[in-house]
Structure 1
Amino acid sequence: MSGESDLRKLLTGMRPELNAGCYVFTTVDDGVVPVGVTPVVTVAEREGLTLVVPQREADAAGLAYAYVAGWITLRVHSALEAVGLTAAVARELADAGLSCNVIAGFHHDHLFVPYERAAEAVALLEDLARGSA
C-alpha cells in the first residue's frame, strides 16, 4: 500500500486531527521503558532512548521533561519519499511562531506542537489545506 507523493494532494488532503491529551518528550539512559509508560514514539539515540509519552504517564513514573505538546496527526497517507509536506507544514507553523516536532510514521506524519497552541495549529493547517486546493 503506497502513500501519496503529490504535494498538492498531500496538502489538500492532510486533514489534521488533534489527538486528546498532553504529550511530553523525555529520555531514559538505560533504554528501558518504565513500567506503566506506553510511548507513542521512541527514538534510539547515542545519549539514550527518547520517549514521547502521555504527560500523566511521565508524571506517574517520575520522568523529567520540559516541553508539553499537543499531538496532531495528518490523516493523509503520505509516502515516505514524498517531498515538501514537512517543509510546507513547518513553514506555516513557523510563520505563526509555533515550534513543531515532526515524526514520520509509515502511514502518517505526526506533529508535536506547544500544547497551549495546538488548536491554533490545527486551524492554521486547515487553512493551508483549503488554500492549496
Structure 2
Amino acid sequence: MAGESDLQKLLSGMRPELKPGRYVFTTVEGGVPSGVTPLVTVAEDEGLTLVVPLEEADAAGLAYDYVAGWITLRVHSALDAVGLTAAVSRELADVGLSCNVVAGFHHDHLFVPYEHAERAVAVLDGLAHRSA
C-alpha cells in the first residue's frame, strides 16, 4: 500500500478538500481533557499540543489564539516523498497564507487561517492544474 512519491503526480493529483468546521491548536499539561477528541497530538517538552474542533476547546475551557480551516490533500503521498510540503507551503506563502502541515499515513493535512481557507483551496487547485 505504498504512496506516491513522484512530485509532479503528487501535485497534479492532490485534490485539496476543505473539511467543514473550525479547528484550534492548544496545549495541555497531562492528558487529553474529558470531552476532547484531538485530530492531532504532539508531545513537546512544554506540554501536549492538541489540534481540536473549536467547539470542543471552548467547552473544555482550553486557551487558543489560532483558528484554522482543515484541508486534506486527497493524494496518497508516500511518507518519504520529497518536495510536496515545500511546494504547497511555498505556493501558499507566495499569496501571504500561513500553513501548518501534519502528515498522516495516507494524506497530508494543512491547517490554514480559517478566514482564508477557501482561498487556500483555490490556490492549491491552481497549483494542481499547472502541474498536470
Instruction: Could you tell me which runs of 5 or more consecutive residues in structure 1 were left unpaired when the two chains were aligned.
Output: none
**SS of structure 1 residue aligned to 2:8:** helix
The equivalent of 1:29 in structure 2 is 29
Q: Distance in 2 between matches of 1:95 and 1:9?
A: 22
1:29 shift after superposition:
1.3
Deviations 1:18-69 (A, max 9, x none): 0000000001012x11111000000011111000000000000000000000
Deviations 1:103-127 (A, max 9, x none): 0000000000000000000000000
The equivalent of 2:42 in structure 1 is 43
The equivalent of 2:107 in structure 1 is 108
**SS of structure 2 residue aligned to 1:20:** strand
Matched letter for residue 71 of structure 1: W
- Provide TM-score, normalisation by structure 1: 0.98
The equivalent of 1:12 in structure 2 is 12
The equivalent of 2:88 in structure 1 is 89
Q: Distance in 2 between matches of 1:77 and 1:37?
A: 28
Matched letter for residue 23 of structure 1: Y
The equivalent of 1:132 in structure 2 is 131
1:73 shift after superposition:
0.2
Identity across the alignment (%): 80
Q: Distance in 2 between matches of 1:29 and 1:66?
A: 17
1:123 matched to 2:109: no
- Provide TM-score, normalisation by structure 2: 0.99
Q: CA RMSD in A?
A: 0.4
Deviations 1:61-105 (A, max 9, x none): 000000000000000000000000000000000000000000000
- Which segments of structure 1 move beyond 4 Å, counting only runs of 4 or more? none
Q: Distance in 1 between matches of 2:121 and 2:80?
A: 24
Q: Distance in 2 between matches of 1:45 and 1:19?
A: 26
Q: Distance in 2 between matches of 1:73 and 1:15?
A: 8
Aligned length: 132
Matched letter for residue 10 of structure 2: L
Q: Distance in 2 between matches of 1:33 and 1:98?
A: 30
